[in-house]
């Protein structure tokens, strides 16, 4: 069964304290790995798509990387406005040849000033 596990569940950082969020996955025939940001009371907002191992994407203080088993979302010198829940989702092939998108439960990031 396809699985996406995010760790840690929650992370508290001081402003400027860099860290990484992890998304490990098991899926047949990876089609894409997605990172989303979700603010309280709002819908998730797309950040990145990664398609193959070794790929990296950057946006401001965020950098997403992908291996064959996991993805990391690196946050460099975070600011309080980076506080949010970060969701990972994986698109892969399931039995019968159809595709399926599976979400992880998210990492809640809090950045204190």
Partner 1 sequence: DVKVTQSSRYLVKRTGEKVFLECVQDMDHENMFWYRQDPGLGLRLIYFSYDVKMKEKGDIPEGYSVSREKKERFSLILESASTNQTSMYLCASSTGGTNEKLFFGSGTQLSVL
- Determine, following the binding rule CB under 8 A, whether residue 28 of this chain makes contact with partner 1: no
For partner 1, the closer CB: 78 or 87? 87
Task: Give the range of 13-21, 59-67, 69-77, 83-91 binding partner 1 by CB under 8 A.
Answer: 83-91
Q: Which of 43, 96, 97, 113 binds partner 1 (CB under 8 A)?
A: 43
Report the residue number, 27 or 78, with the smaller CB distance to partner 1.
Answer: 27
**How many chain residues interact with partner 1 (CB under 8 A)?**
22
- Give 78's contacts (C-beta < 8 A, 6+ positions apart): 13, 15, 16, 17, 18, 19, 61, 109, 111
Largest CA distance in the chain: 50
How many whole angstroms separate alpha carbon 22 and alpha carbon 33?
12
Asked if residues 71 and 23 have their Cβ atoms less than 8 Å apart, the reply is yes
Asked if 44 interacts with partner 1 (CB under 8 A), we say yes
Contact call for residues 14 and 78 (beta carbons, < 8 A): no
Would you tell me which residues interact with partner 1 (CB under 8 A)?
31-32, 34, 36, 41-46, 49, 51, 87, 89, 91, 99-101, 103-106
């Amino acid at each position: 069964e396809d699985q996406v596990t995010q760790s840690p569940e929650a992370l508290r950082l001081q402003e400027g304290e860099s860290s990484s969020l992890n998304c490990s996955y098991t899926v047949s025939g990876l089609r894409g790995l997605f990172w989303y940001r979700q603010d309280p009371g709002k819908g998730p907002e797309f950040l990145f798509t990664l398609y193959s191992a070794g790929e990296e994407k950057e946006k401001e203080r965020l950098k997403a990387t992908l291996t064959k088993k996991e993805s990391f979302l690196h946050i460099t010198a975070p600011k309080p406005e980076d506080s949010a829940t970060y969701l990972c989702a994986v698109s892969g092939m399931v039995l019968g040849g159809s595709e399926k998108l599976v979400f992880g439960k998210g990492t809640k990031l809090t950045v204190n000033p």
